[in-house]
Amino acid sequence: MTTRLSPFLFFLFLFVSQAIILQAQDEEAIMPESNHVCLKCHGHKYYSFFNEYKDLTERKLMNPYFVIDSVSYLQGEHKGHSCTDCHSSDYENYPHIADLKIQPKMTCVDCHDFEVIATEVKKSVHVEAFGEFFHCELCHDPHSNKLVKSDMAELVLYNNNRCLNCHNDADKYQVFTSHENPQLLSTHDWLPNQALHFTRVRCIECHTSVTDTSDAVHHILPKEQAVHNCNECHSENSLLRDKLYKHQLKQDRSEFNFYNSFILNDAYVIGANRNYYVNLISLIIFGCTLFGIIIHVILRIIKRK
């Protein structure tokens, strides 16, 4: 029996392994050839170039904000784009001409239609404070930006890192303001189970306004207007329905009759995750207990007379 099956299993193995290799090749991201020239310097912390004036090869430190992580680039949404799709083709020459630094750069809206987002961003505290100087790329690095939808923990981490990039980095924060960098732990010390909140929900759950538009998360509120009332999330009509779990809400509303059951795959939110049947059974048990006691009290009173 085993001998008869062996050739079959061998071909099955070959078939499956080939399918896996082909699939992997299909999914493999390919960096546009022209980007290799840029990444030769901008893909590293240090770069070397031949200085014709000195007639020697020099090695210098790359400005850390100009270093592009090629792995993140290949995982990002713009992986198929050449650097010069967004940056001036004059950058192809080195040394780069000084004028390039002050020339206006391309922005996201030059390619994307972000009309609704732009309206929300204009109302946001960032634009109110910094005006037009504030732009998409400050939060959404086009060199690595990606949509994370599948894993909730990864989504939360990825989104919160966008905020922490500036709000937890005094150097970056003070590019925009002379204010001191806020001490995130102490300003959030009112929050019970702080670490759990930081890893299970995004900053924007509390720091954006709730509206019906899917792009509402771009209207960042002033800190005074941020959610402070726990019941906003910890209740049957949890605001997490309109934010973090907006997509899951469409798929699943009533697994095992839990209210907001879509949250249950990732977390348990007290007050938001009640169960219809458990509530009903509890009420019946509680009602029967009280009913029994009342009947007994009535009988005691009657017998005493």
Partner 1 sequence: MSNNKLYLYPVWLRIWHGINALGIILLGITGLSMQYTNMESPLLKFSSAVSIHNLVGIILMISYFFFFITNIIKNNIKHYRISLNGLVNRLMKQGKYYVFDYLKGNPKPFHISEEEKFNPLQQISYVGAMYILVPIVIITGIALLYPGMIIEKIYSFSGIRLTTFLHSLAGFFILIFLIIHLYVITIGQHPLRNFKSIITGYHEAE
Instruction: Check residue 232 for interaction with partner 1 (CB under 8 A).
Output: yes
- Collapsing DSSP to helix, strand or coil, 15 comes out as helix
Among the listed residues 18, 225, 231, 257, the single contact to partner 1 using CB under 8 A: 231
Identify whether the C-beta of residue 42 lies closer than 8 Å to the C-beta of residue 94.
no
Beta carbon of residue 303, minimum distance to partner 1 (angstroms, whole number)? 5
If one asks whether residue 282 binds partner 1 (CB under 8 A), the answer comes out as: yes
Structure tokens given for 96: 């780069």
Q: How many CA atoms lie within 13 A of 141 on its CB side?
A: 18
Written as one letter, the residue type at 67 is V
Nearest-5° Cα angle at 241, 129 to 272: 115
From candidates 45, 54, 300, 305, binder to partner 1 by CB under 8 A: 300
Q: Which of 237, 253, 276, 287 binds partner 1 (CB under 8 A)?
A: 237
Which residue number, 35 or 261, has a Cβ lying nearer to partner 1? 261
Q: Judged by CB under 8 A, which of 162, 172, 246, 274 binds partner 1? A: 274
Q: Of the two residues 17 and 282, which places its CB atom closer to partner 1 in the complex?
A: 282
- Residue in 256, 228, 227, 257 with CA at minimum distance from that of residue 242: 227
Following CA atoms 134, 136, 140, 142 in sequence, which dihedral angle do they give, to the nearest 10 degrees?
-120
Asked if 298 touches partner 1 (CB under 8 A), the answer is no
Give the distance from CA 134 to its chain's centroid: 19
Of 2-10, 38-46, 72-80, 286-294, the segment contacting partner 1 by CB under 8 A is 286-294
Q: Rounded to a whole number, what is the distance in angstroms from the first to the last CA of the chain?
A: 89
CB 123, min distance to partner 1, A: 24
Helix (H, G, I), strand (E, B) or coil at 50: strand
CB of 5 to partner 1, least distance (A): 33
Subset of residues 173 to 192 that bind partner 1, contact rule: CB under 8 A: 190, 192
Residue 135: Cβ within 10 Å count: 16
Interface residues toward partner 1, by CB under 8 A: 190, 192-193, 195-196, 229-232, 234-237, 264-268, 270-271, 273-274, 278, 282, 285-286, 289-290, 293, 296, 299-300, 303
